[in-house]
Amino acid sequence: KQIKRSICLTIIENGFGHNDAVYQILIDTVLKDNFEKFLDDCTKKIELTAHARKVYNYRGDEIKSLRMFLDTDECKVPTTNDDYIYGPVWISKGERFRPTGAYIYLETRYQELNIQYKKIKIQYKEVILVMKEKQKTKHESDHNEETDDDGVDEQISSNEGTDKEKSKIKDKLSSKDKSLLSMSSKELKMFKQKLEIQIKEIKSKMEIYKLRMDEIEADKDKEEEMGPRFPIDHIAEIDFHDKIVGRHPICLTVHENGSFDKSDPKIYLNLRSLPSKNIPQTPIEYLLDYLQTSIEMFARQRPKRVFDINGTEIKLIGQLQAKQDIFISYGEDYRPAYEPCLTIQIHNVDIYLKNDSRILLKTFRPDGQIIGEKEKRTASRDYGHDAEFNGL
């Protein structure tokens, strides 16, 4: 029987790259060939607010076949644990690829490798230090043995010197593990070679992440510069008056017959929802039905007639105009909202007698001006009555 091999693919929501946004999904041989099922599983795993529609790699190239992507070398990325991870891929709900998330992910992995590189580098320097000190100690001990092999006092002083050298090495070592002192020269040499291999591998991994970061750095800077406009920048903007937009809704201010109030409701009549294709010849009953079902003030009784502000009855939808005031009747004739009234103006006048006739001259008299002794006021101005002034 053929053994089915499954792999763990790293998935991240589009625009994110921190560790708390990284998820793993198990990919078996069946899921490799069922891309729609893969999108469904990603939607549930990441808990997206909408269904997953697109998949991108770190450069923003759309992935349309999961099997083709997993068969490439690009699908594997080295980690700090001397292992590889498959992916990552960024899951989109339909919006364009956002490179900031991919850059954050690559930068995080690069920093982890850099920390590991610094630790190994310190350990490597400690090995070199111990090897040098051991060689130096061995050389001094050999020299002491050649000068005086029989002197007991010389041998004691040599042992004391070796102990002092060990204590100096311990002081120089920064690591908590002092096991390097107990290693032989051969063991130190093998350990040094192992560290050199690790340093070389980490450097190569860091170069991979650095190259990928450089690839998308310009796109990342562009997204940061554009801000919230970046996800929708690729969408073409259509002019409001373009034919593709279609007919615009008509804004109407609706009043009851004989009434006019600024707080009366405004409606937007969508002409594209009309049942008839011949909009200008559509009867006004369509508007009356809409008012009864949508406006509370007309729900108690069905409106029957529509007038404009001049009292002209509107019988077709095509007669309506944008930003128009209309007056709704329940069958009665139009009643004007504004009633004409009589206005009275009171003026100050001076009356003169000349040749048995009266001459009236309109004059401006401030309210605070004192009336002359020979003048008299016969009416109170406070109540708006006529005023009479007599003068000689």
Residue 302, pLDDT > 60, answer yes
Residue 364, pLDDT > 60, answer yes
Does an H or E element contain 294, and which? helix 285-294
Contact residues for 4 (Cβ-Cβ < 8 A; gap 6+): 28, 29
Confidence of residue 221 (pLDDT cuts 50, 70, 90): very high
Average pLDDT over residues 177-182: 73
Q: Phi first, then psi: what are they for 216, rounded to 5°? A: -110, 5
Q: Residues 303-319: pLDDT tens digits?
A: 999 999 888 999 988 88
Q: Which of 34-43, 264-273, 349-358 has the highest mean pLDDT?
A: 34-43
C-alpha 268/C-alpha 249 separation (Å) is 6
Confidence of residue 195 (pLDDT cuts 50, 70, 90): very high
Q: Phi first, then psi: what are they for 280, rounded to 5°? A: -60, -30
Contact residues for 298 (Cβ-Cβ < 8 A; gap 6+): 291, 292, 328
Confidence of residue 301 (pLDDT cuts 50, 70, 90): confident
Average pLDDT over residues 222-241: 81
Residue 1, pLDDT > 80, answer no
Residue 39, pLDDT > 90, answer yes
Residue 61, pLDDT > 80, answer yes
Q: Taking the complete model, does pTM exceed 0.75, yes or no?
A: no
**According to the model, what pLDDT value does residue 103 have?**
95
Residue 84, pLDDT > 80, answer no
Cβ atoms of 69 and 63 closer than 8 Å: yes
Residue, of 370 and 392, whose pLDDT is higher: 370
**According to the model, what pLDDT value does residue 294 have?**
85
Residue, of 374 and 6, whose pLDDT is higher: 6
Residue 234, pLDDT > 80, answer no
**According to the model, what pLDDT value does residue 287 have?**
87
Confidence of residue 167 (pLDDT cuts 50, 70, 90): low
C-alpha 299/C-alpha 292 separation (Å) is 5
**According to the model, what pLDDT value does residue 391 have?**
38
Encoded tokens for 199:
């340093």
Question: What is the CB-side half-sphere exposure of residue 152 using CA atoms within 13 A?
Answer: 0
Q: Which of 205-214, 223-232, 270-279, 280-289 has the highest mean pLDDT?
A: 205-214
Confidence of residue 157 (pLDDT cuts 50, 70, 90): very low
Residue 96, pLDDT > 80, answer yes
Average pLDDT over residues 161-166: 54
**According to the model, what pLDDT value does residue 252 have?**
92
Greatest C-alpha distance within the chain: 166
**According to the model, what pLDDT value does residue 162 have?**
53
Residue 110, pLDDT > 50, answer yes
Residue 389, pLDDT > 70, answer no
Average pLDDT over residues 244-268: 85
Cβ atoms of 294 and 264 closer than 8 Å: no
Encoded tokens for 156:
């004691």
Q: Residues 111-140: pLDDT tens digits?
A: 999 999 999 998 898 888 888 887 877 666
Mean pLDDT (the chain, rounded): 80
